[in-house]
Chains A and B, each alone.
Chain A
Amino acid sequence: MIAMTCRIHTGADGAAHWLDSPHFDGQGTIDVHALGSPVVPHPESVAVLVELDHRMLAALAGDPWAAEAENILGFTRYANGTDAPSRLVELVRARATGDSAVAAARALFEAAGYQVVVCADQPGRIVDRLIRPVYNAALRLVDEGLATQADLDLTCRLGLGYVDGPVERVERGGLAHHYDVTAALFETFGTPGFAPAARSVAAAQRRAART
């Protein structure tokens, strides 16, 4: 079998360093656009993978060609803000994306040792969409005096078997980062669960005052 070629296009942010020289079987070329590199068409490629931050694929590859390309996908290695990255890759499928492009992308990331999930191009993808409202609720419940922060975190560890509690986790990832993610979700969905919790709003305001 001919080894698949993977071209990594690095941008100003120089991300996707974690995908260096993956080896896997398959045929053809995969183009990987690391975060910050301008996304251009590669009609000959099996897959064009666009690294995402908290924005949607449509925001980073919004050109008309991209909307019709059968080989385009977004991806992100899930990280809780500045926390250590996880082994999860969320693969974002656009409307026109074909199964062969999805299969090639999956093979690439699995060969690099990642767990791959496929999701639609919606804000927050899977993890942030589901976990950010939990962090909002946890921050609010502590503010409202339901329990101490330590007890709330302990309750989630002991009662739900979580590795860590929601408040310690959102703090570790960065409250201002939490604000960015939830503000984007709230802008789209407008539901109260996504409204950034007070402590994260304050953190974002402190960040703005510094810069």
Chain B
Amino acid sequence: MKQSTNVAVCGAGGTMGAGIAIVSARSGHRTICYDTSASGLERARGQIEKFFAKSVSLGKLTAEQQARALDGLTMTTSLDDLGACELVIEAVFENLEVKKQLFGKLDSVCAETAVFASNTSTLSITEIAAGSARPDRVVGMHFCLPAQLMALVEMTPGLRTDAAVFDAAWNWVTAAGQVPVRTQDKPGFILNALLVPFNNDAIRAVEAGVASPADIDRAIKTALGNKLGPLELVDLVGLDTQVRLCDAFYANTYDPRAAAPPLLKRMVAAGLLGRKSGRGFFAYSGQAMFGA
């Protein structure tokens, strides 16, 4: 792929998509933000503009770079506008059928030479690629939340991915200032394969009466130097999201550590979803944590 490419981000009205659009536009690519939700796109444009303004005020971006990034940024709810894109990164809902269908449609919109990338966290790249008639052109490109601040990208070839396509995607990620690491197409790649069961174990330790949530988090932070304890992290991710992650992994791996702990399910049933509901393993008032 060339220095300046036409890039599309599908699902750009969502959490990850908006961040990925920033990464792309910031490194000088003409970036088309596609989403089925017009209001999502509108919100994303506001967030992206704010982010670039802040980057300029912090001296991380020049005013010219900001202008170029915003000039090259377009919003659309029509898939047909993606015809000229050399790279399409999808960050739509985490649903295999939705992603497969999207790539199937992109087959008829994009040139044969286009590279298709998926930001999936839990699905198989090979299975997603099966939705396209060009599975050799599909790669995994898993950004971290928030994508505009986190350098890491897990990059994954599917069983049928062409090595040259993988290399092109890899080079694009590197040129965008990100740090790619190569993983195999296995559930959760590296990050989530380690993190989801670890967080579950912390929940099981609470349930087994090993210690209080506050002491469990303090122990992990003090002993290992981690910035966040596992239970604070689950509160941040959302307990309902943790259940969904567990269900996705357990169904694929049958790893008992990946199964949703009973306490987690009870808390979700009780509406204790973490930060977003004001209470999870800890209680929150506004943004500040209290108690515990």
Q: Do A and B bind each other?
A: yes
Pick from B193, B211, B222, B228: contact of A86, CB under 8 Å: B222
- Please, which residues of chain A bring their CB within 8 A of the CB of B209? 120
CB distance from B143 to the nearest CB of A (A): 10
Give complex CA distance A24, B154 in Å: 50
CB proximity to B under 8 Å, residues A130-162: 130-131, 133-134, 137-138, 141, 145-148, 151-152, 154-156, 158-162
Contact partner of B257 (CB less than 8 A), chosen from A131, A159, A160, A193, is A193
- Distance in angstroms between the alpha carbons of A122 and B179 in the assembled complex: 40
> Is the Cβ of B257 less than 8 Å from the Cβ of A133?
yes
Task: Choose the segment among B15-23, B36-44, B197-205 that binds chain A (4+ C-beta atoms closer than 8 Å).
Answer: B197-205
B220 near A131 with CB under 8 A, answer yes
Contact call B216/A126, Cβ cutoff below 8 A: yes
With A125-B210, A151-B190, A155-B154 as known contacts, state yes or no: A192 contacts B256, CB within 8 Å. yes
Instruction: Give the residues in chain A near B226, CB-CB below 8 Å.
Output: 160-163
CB atoms of B219 and A127 under 8 A apart: yes
Which residues of B lie under 8 Å from residue A120 when comparing CB positions? 208-211
Whether A88 pairs with B219 at a CB distance below 8 angstroms is yes
Segment among A27-35, A47-55, A111-119 that sits at the interface with chain B: A111-119
Instruction: Give the distance in Å from the alpha carbon of A166 to the alpha carbon of B193 in the complex.
Output: 13
Select A88's contact among B181, B205, B223, B230, beta carbons within 8 Å. Answer: B223
> Is the beta-carbon distance between A147 and B194 smaller than 8 angstroms?
no
Q: Which residue of B lies closest to A80 (CB)?
A: B223
Q: Name the interface size band of chain B.
A: 35 or more
User: Does A199 lie at the interface of the complex (its beta carbon under 8 Å from any beta carbon of B)?
Assistant: no
Given A126-B211, A137-B194, A141-B190, do A158 and B152 touch, yes or no (CB 8 Å)? yes
Q: Is A129 an interface residue, CB under 8 A from the partner?
A: yes
Beta-carbon contact of B191 and A155 below 8 Å: yes
**Residues in B whose Cβ lies below 8 Å from that of A192:** 255-257
Give chain B nearest CB distance to A90 CB in angstroms. 7
Measured CB to CB, the closest approach of chain B to A167, in angstroms, equals 11
- Known: A88-B222, A147-B182, A155-B191. Is A126-B197 also a contact (CB below 8 A)? no
B227 at the interface (CB under 8 A from A): yes
Taking CB atoms, residues of chain B closer than 8 Å to A86 are: 222-224
**B154 to chain A: which residues have CB within 8 Å?**
155, 159
Interface size grouping (class) on chain A: 35 or more
- With both beta carbons as reference points, the residue of chain A lying nearest to B214 in the complex is identified as A117
Are B197 and A117 touching (Cβ within 8 A)?
no
Q: CA A34 – CA B192 in complex, angstroms?
A: 40
Is A78 part of the binding interface, using a Cβ–Cβ cutoff of 8 Å? yes
- Does A191 count as interface, using CB distance less than 8 angstroms? yes
- Contact indicator A87/B222 (Cβ below 8 Å): yes
Give the residues in chain A near B211, CB-CB below 8 Å.
117-120, 126
B129 nearest CB across to chain A (Å): 19
Instruction: Select the residue from B201, B220, B224 with max chain A CB neighbours within 10 A.
Output: B224
A141 to B189, CA, bound (A): 10
> Contact at B184–A193, with CB atoms within 8 Å?
no
Q: How far is the CB of A80 from chain B (nearest CB, A)?
A: 8
> Nearest CB to that of A88 among chain B residues?
B222
- A158 contacts B150, CB within 8 Å? yes
Known: A130-B198, A146-B183. A160 touches B191 (CB 8 A): yes
Q: Please, which residues of chain A bring their CB within 8 A of the CB of B198?
A: 130-131, 133-134
B 221-235 to A, binary, CB cutoff 8 A, 1 in contact else 0: 011111110100000
CA distance A58 to B239 in the complex (A): 35
Measured in the bound complex, the distance between the Cα atoms of B281 and A77 in whole Å is 26
- Contact of B183 with A130 in the complex, beta carbons under 8 Å: no
Which A154-198 residues have C-beta < 8 A from chain B? 154-156, 158-163, 166, 169, 191-193
**B225:A163 contact, CB within 8 angstroms:** yes
Q: Which 3 pairs between the two chains have the least Cβ-Cβ distance?
A: A117-B215, A158-B152, A163-B225
Listed by A's residue number, 23 A-B pairs whose Cβ atoms lie within 8 Å are A115-B222, A118-B215, A120-B210, A127-B220, A129-B210, A130-B230, A133-B201, A133-B257, A137-B257, A147-B184, A148-B182, A154-B179, A155-B191, A156-B194, A158-B151, A159-B150, A159-B154, A162-B224, A162-B226, A166-B194, A191-B256, A192-B255, A193-B197
Measuring CB to CB, which residues of chain A are less than 8 angstroms from any residue of chain B? 78, 80, 86-88, 90, 115, 117-120, 122, 125-127, 129-131, 133-134, 137-138, 141, 145-148, 151-152, 154-156, 158-163, 166, 169, 191-193
B residues whose Cβ falls under 8 Å from a Cβ of A: 144, 150-152, 154, 179, 181-184, 186, 189-191, 193-195, 197-198, 201-202, 205, 208-212, 215-216, 218-220, 222-228, 230, 255-257
Q: A127-B219, A162-B226, A193-B256 are in contact. List 6 more A-B contacts (CB 8 A).
A: A118-B215, A127-B224, A158-B144, A159-B150, A163-B226, A193-B201
